[in-house]
Amino acid sequence: MKVASQEVVLVLNGARVSLDREVFVSLFRNSVVASYSDVRKALDGQPMPFKTFLKLTYQAQIPYPLFFAPRDVVDVQVRLKTDKLMAGFTKKSFSMHSRHKVELCDVELIVKDLMRKQELLRRYDPTLRRNPLVGLVRKSRRPVADDAARLLRVLGLDLSEIRSAKSKEAAVELLIRRLESNQVLVSRSAQHHMPQEIPRRAKFSGMTIKDKRVPFIFLATGNEGDHLEPAGRRLFTLVLLTVLIGQETFTPVNYDGHTKDENSPRAYEIAAEILMPSAELRDMNFPDLDALKKAATKFKVTPSAVAMRARHLRRIEHGDFVEFMDVLEDEYKNRPKSVMRSPAPVKALVNYNGIECSRRMLAILDAKRVTPAEFRRVMFFNKLAWSQLGDFREAVG
């Protein structure tokens, strides 16, 4: 039986340099490079060029001298890093109707970045107030319908506004605008314009990041390869994330919209009540798939979401429910694959930073509370030239 070496070997100018294997694993394990082939090869005993090692430490945002520190020092640093990262969450992950958990390393740099923006806003934006949405329905024992109504009331949102939107995508945009007008910041994934790419293997719908004044919602928007989030599911996910903020639950979320699991946590029930009120569903009949699809168009959600809601309210028999879900899953798998075009860099960065966060950060810049260099680093990741600031302002509006 092959025994793993206790060392990882680096090669620098032809000379071999040894690293403690446990230190190497401990530092890289919870980073964005953990699954990279170069890391795996090094752990399998293949010497790693020092240049490759430096590139990996830069991508992982780990100071490379730390790899040469004693294990006890490394353990302390890893613990401090994890504690700081987890400060944005109340629980590690929230898996909704899914066996998959969100790995923290898949979103680590995004979490760090959004927390950095929250910190700057708290420090320099004097207009911020305590957010009334945070904790609004925490530990509530009221009926689900009451909590749904309270959340809509605080957002100043009427259900008819969502339904009158021209499309499901327009409904998503409407809810984002209403959230941001209530000091909830919304970031959307933008491939190649985020601190890290979300790997294709990740089952990830979004996350909520803690703050009493400016909680952040990060929403997966369909640029994550095979795990496309259609607009109807994205609206439900966005409402679910809003409910979690109302429950004062901050966590990465994986929501499976094609499950036959009939058990639902309270957050899901509140989100479903907001978009598909039980009083209406109980007066509806679903004799066939067309009826589900018609209701989905009305409620601006997916047919699967309507089927799950109708089954929970016993408006569909179990056998019909399973049959409907199987057909819908086949239709989803066999749908025409749309070609995802990368947006222009300015638009992509506005989507990722969010309109409200961008406006507030621009105001901080104009008040000279942050330097142009810091603004460009935090908001543009140095991917836009300073001369493009005007284009960014125009896109923010």
Domain membership of residue 386 (yes or no) is: yes
SS3 state at 255 = strand
Tokens (6 digits) for 335: 């749908």
Say if residue 263's pLDDT is above 80: no
CA-to-CA distance for 7 and 26, rounded, in angstroms? 13
Looking up tokens 């066996």, which residue turns up? 99
Domain membership of residue 340 (yes or no) is: no
Same domain for 159 and 136: yes
Domain membership of residue 69 (yes or no) is: yes
Helices (H), strands (E): how many in the chain? 18, 8
Task: Annotate 233-260 with DSSP letters as a single string.
Answer: HHHHHHHHHHHHHHTT---EEEE-TT--
Q: What is the separation, in whole angstroms, between the first and last Cα of the chain?
A: 64
CA-to-CA distance for 190 and 204, rounded, in angstroms? 14
CA-based nearest residue to 136, from 94, 182, 93:
182
The model's pLDDT over 267-325, given as tens digits with 9 standing for 90+, comes to 999 999 999 999 999 999 999 999 999 999 999 999 999 999 999 999 999 999 999 99
Domain end point (choices 86, 112, 132):
86
Domain end point (choices 333, 355, 376):
333
CA-to-CA distance for 294 and 341, rounded, in angstroms? 30
The model's pLDDT over 347-390, given as tens digits with 9 standing for 90+, comes to 999 999 999 999 999 999 999 999 999 999 999 988 888 999 99
Measured in whole angstroms, the distance separating CA 150 from the mean position of its chain's CA atoms is: 24
User: What is the Cα Rg of the chain in Å?
Assistant: 23
The model's pLDDT over 177-198, given as tens digits with 9 standing for 90+, comes to 999 999 999 999 988 888 888 8
Same domain for 222 and 318: yes
Beta-strand pair 252-255/94-96: parallel
Tokens (6 digits) for 351: 């989507």
CA-to-CA distance for 268 and 301, rounded, in angstroms? 14
Residue 339, pLDDT score: 60
Same domain for 213 and 69: no
Say if residue 213's pLDDT is above 90: yes
Same domain for 289 and 313: yes
Domain membership of residue 391 (yes or no) is: yes
Same domain for 260 and 140: yes
Tokens (6 digits) for 283: 């007066």
Domain membership of residue 338 (yes or no) is: no
Residue 222, pLDDT score: 52
CA-based nearest residue to 262, from 301, 296, 308:
308
Question: In terms of residue numbers, what domain contains 78?
Answer: 7-86
Rounded to two decimals, the pTM is 0.83
Same domain for 169 and 278: yes
Same domain for 374 and 319: no
Domain membership of residue 12 (yes or no) is: yes
Same domain for 157 and 22: no
Same domain for 99 and 64: no
- DSSP code of 10? E
Same domain for 248 and 107: yes
Same domain for 139 and 112: yes
SS3 state at 185 = strand
What is the number of structural domains in the chain? 3
**Under 8 Å between Cβ of 186 and 221:** no
Same domain for 318 and 196: yes
Domain end point (choices 54, 86, 118):
86
